[in-house]
Amino acid sequence: MVARDQPAAPTVLQFPEPPGRKIRRRIWVGVAVVLVLVAGAIGVLVFSPLLAVKTISVQGTGLVPAGKIDELLAPLAGKPLPQIAESDVRSLLAGVPAVADVKVEARPPSELAVRITERVPVALLKAGKRYALVDEEGRQLASVKSRQAAKLPLINAAKAKKDPDVFRTITAVLGALPPKVLARLDHASANSVDSVQLQLKDGTSVLWGNAEQRELKAKVLEALLKADPEVPVQVFDVSTPTRPVTR
């Protein structure tokens, strides 16, 4: 039997790859490699003990003892800085009434800086043998041993407990006063939300009225206190701030 030659396999022509496609492929490979390296670096930083918190510096405290803040923030020690969010610090300090706001800054390699903004006390409230510092919302912020420790007016504690609305009206009024005026007050009282009365240390009375227009009333009172009247004033009536009366 005569063997016959098998037909030759068809020849497949290999065309060179377009230069543009080769460049794009190299670019994508390069980008993928960079992303992998960046992800790895981030992972190392986030969990690395090299960035563990060793020092927590706190600024802005006056009402709250520094030791108390240090104690509350102690759980953050040893935790890597990238893992600590501002919300974590806020949560740890949420139970401190005097803390109004918190700002956090990471300072590599191992310091966490915490800046605290405290609420401003506007009055004193007798609490047993001590005096509570209260803010304009009636919130008790801290306590001091003596009345002389803070140049703030005194509010009757018994009346404050009896009528919280009247108490908050008084503190709202005091919160509108400039610090220099506040320091001149001896005490503040009211029988109702419409009858707030302030007493200066020199015995002069201020008839304030309710908490409405308190910013305007505060400006009027400040101006009256700066004036030099020919006749001594016993009463400042700013209940109608557009028509103040002195007598």
3-class SS at 25? helix
Q: Is residue 27 part of a domain?
A: no
Q: Is residue 155 part of a domain?
A: yes
Look at residue 45 and tell me whether its pLDDT is greater than 80.
no
Average pLDDT of 227-231?
A: 83
Cross-strand partners of 132: 125, 143
Buried b (16+ CB within 10 A) or exposed e, 2-41: eeeeeeeeeeeeeeeeeeeeeeeeeeeeeeeeeeeeeeee
88 with 184, same domain? no
Task: Identify the band that residue 231 occupies on the pLDDT scale cut at 50, 70 and 90.
Answer: confident
Out of 85, 101, 118, a domain closes at: 118
C-alpha pair distances (Å), 209 with each of 73, 99, 119, 144: 44, 31, 25, 30
128 with 98, same domain? no
Range of the domain at 97: 49-118
155 with 237, same domain? yes
Average pLDDT of 113-120?
A: 97
Parallel/antiparallel/unpaired status of strands 245-246 and 235-237: antiparallel
Look at residue 22 and tell me whether its pLDDT is greater than 80.
no
107 with 161, same domain? no
95 with 132, same domain? no
Q: Which of 205, 234, 122 is nearest to 167 (CA)?
A: 122
75 with 128, same domain? no
Out of 58, 91, 118, a domain closes at: 118
Look at residue 230 and tell me whether its pLDDT is greater than 90.
no
91 with 173, same domain? no
Instruction: Please report the pLDDT score of residue 229 as a whole number.
Output: 80
- CATH number for 68: 3.10.20.310
Residue type at 170?
I
133 with 242, same domain? yes
Give the Cα separation of 130 and 152 in Å (integer): 14
Give the Cα separation of 133 and 179 in Å (integer): 15
Whole-structure pTM value: 0.78
141 with 232, same domain? yes
Average pLDDT, the chain: 87
53 with 165, same domain? no
C-alpha pair distances (Å), 61 with each of 65, 68, 113, 191, 223: 7, 10, 13, 35, 33
- Tell me which residue has tokens 């600590």: 84
Out of 103, 118, 133, a domain closes at: 118
Q: Is residue 40 part of a domain?
A: no
Instruction: Please report the pLDDT score of residue 40 as a whole number.
Output: 45
| 120-167 confidence digits (pLDDT tens) | 999 999 878 899 999 999 999 999 999 999 999 999 888 888 899 999
Q: Is residue 166 part of a domain?
A: yes
Among the ranges given (20-24, 157-161, 194-198), the one the predictor scored with the smallest mean pLDDT: 20-24
140 with 113, same domain? no
How far out from the chain centre does Cα 148 lie? 27
Task: List the 111-118 sheet strands across, edge first.
Answer: 55-59, 111-118, 99-107
108 with 130, same domain? no
What is the percent of the chain with per-residue pLDDT over 90, rounded to a whole number? 71
| 68-109 confidence digits (pLDDT tens) | 999 999 999 999 999 999 999 999 999 999 999 999 999 999
- Tell me which residue has tokens 């029988």: 191
Among the ranges given (19-23, 118-122, 242-246), the one the predictor scored with the smallest mean pLDDT: 19-23
Total domains in the chain come to: 2
The pair of three-digit structure tokens given for residue 81, joined into one six-digit string: 């800085």
Look at residue 2 and tell me whether its pLDDT is greater than 60.
no
Q: N- to C-terminal Cα distance for the chain?
A: 143
Instruction: Please report the pLDDT score of residue 58 as a whole number.
Output: 95
